[in-house]
Amino acid sequence: MKPFAITLDVGTSLANHTGSWRNERPVYLDRLPPCNAACPAGENIQAWLYHAEEGDYHAAWQEIMQHNPMPAIMGRVCYHACEGACNRGKVDEAVGIHAVERFLGDEAQKKGWTVDCASPSGKNVLVIGAGPSGLSAAYHLARLGHAVTIHEAGPFSGGMMRFGIPKYRLPREVLDAEVQRILDMGVTLKVDSKVDDIQALMKDGGFDACFVAVGAHLAKRANIPAGDASHILDAVSMLRGMETEAEPPLLGRRVVVYGGGNTAVDVARTAKRLGASEALIVYRRTREQMPAHDFEMEEAEEEGVLVHWLRTIKQIEDTTFTVEKMALNDDGWPEPTGEFETIEADTLVLALGQDVDTSFLEKVPGVNIAKDGVVDVDETMMTGCDGIFAGGDMVPAERTVTVAVGHGKKAARNIDAYLRRFRYKPPPKHEVAEFENLNSWYYTDADQRVQPALDLIRRQTTFQEVLGGLDETNALFEARRCLSCGNCFECDNCYGVCPDNAVIKLGPGKRFEFNYDYCKGCGMCVAECPCGAIKMVPEEN
């Protein structure tokens, strides 16, 4: 008889299902990257950077276009809340998302990329205002198969992107090309056609729904006693004049701009370029309290724009301005000090904000104008009048191009649902990928790529674009700085670090799966996943 042991056939350990040891199990998940969570237009930034990382710029651009029809504009003028939220900011510097977006937008213009539209729905939608919000709504509605007509009061499309934002930040060729692509989708644009009676127009034109986005164009005034000889303008008409008048506005040598927002900064920088030897911003509070963004202030100061903080303009006599010094009280509010000084200037430009012209909406039954002159909308962006939606600067929200574009998208999806008689349900939001969910060890060190800037002389004398774009090498580098927060980027770490071979690699683009027969639940995959795309959940029993 043989000894006991060697009578047994050798078998593989695969018969031993060590998964039964587990009391927690790893599961793959997509977390919401903080950039996406912060984007007012609802872009899936991580997803388009993922394509850009591979050099597939066309796919990256198509992903942006799911949410935002104007990447070349957005990459230039968006205040990029995404970058403020970017997790890479905690490693070295945030990913230069806007610079990559701009590269993709410009690439699309060069290559003439287009998007597909759904088959015609037979429905007609009226859009009022060809600003970013109206254009965004028109684009999304057209993609969804609806016929769209835009009525625009002004002689050109673009809204504040043309009548506000100066050329040196947004060249008009870029703006025109982005708008043209939307028109090429079959959207009809009627310029010089101010809408006065929405309901009559809807009836006559056979429109099934309407999106109103007329912006906020009425300049706020200040009560400053001034003699007749004083030259006072408001920021919106001055900037608009740059676009619509044959000659630029006459400002004189010394220009004072009153206000502390981005508009004030744009006016001062424009004045500089028009030949003003002195462009001075007067603001009643401090730099920290200024709504203008730091980077814009820095660029303006580089160009020679001066600022007087904590000052109010009390009186103007010809070219002599009397200003009072202010001081912050304990609550951080500016209070008069009773100390005065004088400034000499040829022109005053008021940049104190804008109100919405709601007069033509007041006649529409059901539409409710809120206290501060903006129009109330519900969570579907519909006003109190059935079938009339509104968005952008004229509804209560932050006033930016990106918010306006986001409103246009949201309204379009809800109008689509309204026309097709269902209720649009936005997909549920994933939990946010916090920095603590990442394992930053795995990312190589890499500084943000810097966009080239125009030389100072030309910045002070011409309207050429100040910031240049990244070339392809740098755009690709920048895209690859993305940490892919919360979304698997197929680094194979989980597949590699599992001591039990309990991770199954499904192949390129297909990600991974757990083999729960053998996973002991050690959690190493979770700890070593660079981007936080796995989490442990308790085992049921």
Partner 1 sequence: MTKAKTKSKAKTALQKVKFYQTGTLTVGNRLMDEDARSVQASMDRSNALTSGHRACQGCGEALGARYAIDAAMRAVNNRIVAVNATGCLEVFTTPYPETAWSIPWIHSLFGNAAAVATGVAAANRVKGRKDVKVIAQGGDGGTTDIGFGCLSGMFERNDDVLYICYDNEAYMNTGVQRSSATPPTARTATTPSVGDKPGNVFGTGKNLPLIAMAHNIPYVATASVSDLHDLETKVTRAMDIKGSRYIHIFVPCPLGWGTAAHDTIRIARLAMESGLFPLFEAEHGEVNSSSPIRRQVPVEDYLRPQRRFAHLFKKGHEDTESIARLQAMADANIKRFNLLRKHNQRDEL
Ligand X SMILES: Cc1cc2nc3c(=O)[nH]c(=O)nc-3n(C[C@H](O)[C@H](O)[C@H](O)COP(=O)(O)OP(=O)(O)OC[C@H]3O[C@@H](n4cnc5c(N)ncnc54)[C@H](O)[C@@H]3O)c2cc1C
Q: For ligand X, which residue of 45, 64, 99, 130 counts as binding (CB under 6 A)?
A: 130
Task: Name residues contacting ligand X, limited to 79-108 (CB under 6 A).
Answer: 79
Half-sphere CA count of 401, side-chain side, radius 13 A: 28
Between the CA of residue 447 and those of 45, 91, 405, 478, 484, what are the distances in Å? 19, 10, 31, 9, 17
At 438 the three-state DSSP class reads: coil
- Which of ligand SF4, partner 1, ligand X, none is residue 214 near (CB under 5 to 8 Å by kind)? ligand X
Task: Name the amino acid, one letter, at 202.
Answer: M
Which does residue 95 touch among ligand X, partner 1, ligand SF4, none (CB within 5 to 8 A, set by kind)?
ligand SF4
Cβ neighbours of residue 319 under 8 Å, at least 6 residues apart? 230, 254, 344, 345, 346
216 residue type, one letter: A
- Distance between CA atoms of residues 112 and 186, nearest Å: 16
Q: Which does 488 bind (CB under 5 to 8 A by kind): partner 1, ligand X, ligand SF4, none?
A: ligand SF4
Sign of the CA dihedral running 353, 359, 361, 362: positive
Site for ligand SF4 in 504-533 (CB under 6 A): 512, 529-531, 533
Q: Does 17 bind partner 1 (CB under 8 A)?
A: yes
Q: Which two tokens stand for residue 133?
A: 């919000």
By CB under 8 A, tell whether 505 contacts partner 1: yes
Q: Which of 69, 215, 259, 530 binds ligand X (CB under 6 A)?
A: 215
Per-residue HEC secondary structure of 213-231 comes to: CCCCCEECCCCCCECCCCC
Q: What whole-number distance in Å separates Cα of residue 288 and Cα of residue 534? A: 40
Q: How far is the CB of 338 from partner 1 (least distance, A)?
A: 57
Q: In the set 489, 500, 524, 536, which binds ligand SF4 (CB under 6 A)?
A: 489
Segment (H or E) for 458: helix 456-461
Q: What x-and-dash track marks residues 329-368 binding ligand SF4 by CB under 6 A?
A: ----------------------------------------
Give the amino acid at 28. Answer: Y
Nearest to 130 by CA among 408, 357, 351, 367: 408
Binding-site member from 429, 441, 455, 457 for partner 1 (CB under 8 A): 441
- For residue 392 the two structure tokens come to 């952008």
33 binds ligand SF4 (CB under 6 A): yes
Number of residues that bind partner 1 (CB under 8 A): 64
CA torsion angle 370 376 378 379 (round to 10): -100
Q: Which of residues 385-404 bind ligand X (CB under 6 A)?
A: 392-393, 399-402, 404
DSSP letter, residue 7 = G
**Site for ligand X, rule CB under 6 A:** 77-79, 128-134, 151-154, 159-161, 164-165, 194-195, 213-215, 239, 262-263, 266, 360, 392-393, 399-402, 404
Applying CB under 6 A, the residues found at the interface with ligand SF4 are 28, 33-35, 45-46, 49, 86-88, 95, 97, 482-485, 488-494, 512, 529-531, 533-534
Q: Which residues bind partner 1 (CB under 8 A)?
A: 5, 8-18, 21, 53-59, 111, 113, 441-446, 472-473, 476-477, 480-482, 484, 489-493, 495-502, 505, 507-508, 515, 517-518, 520-524, 526-528, 530
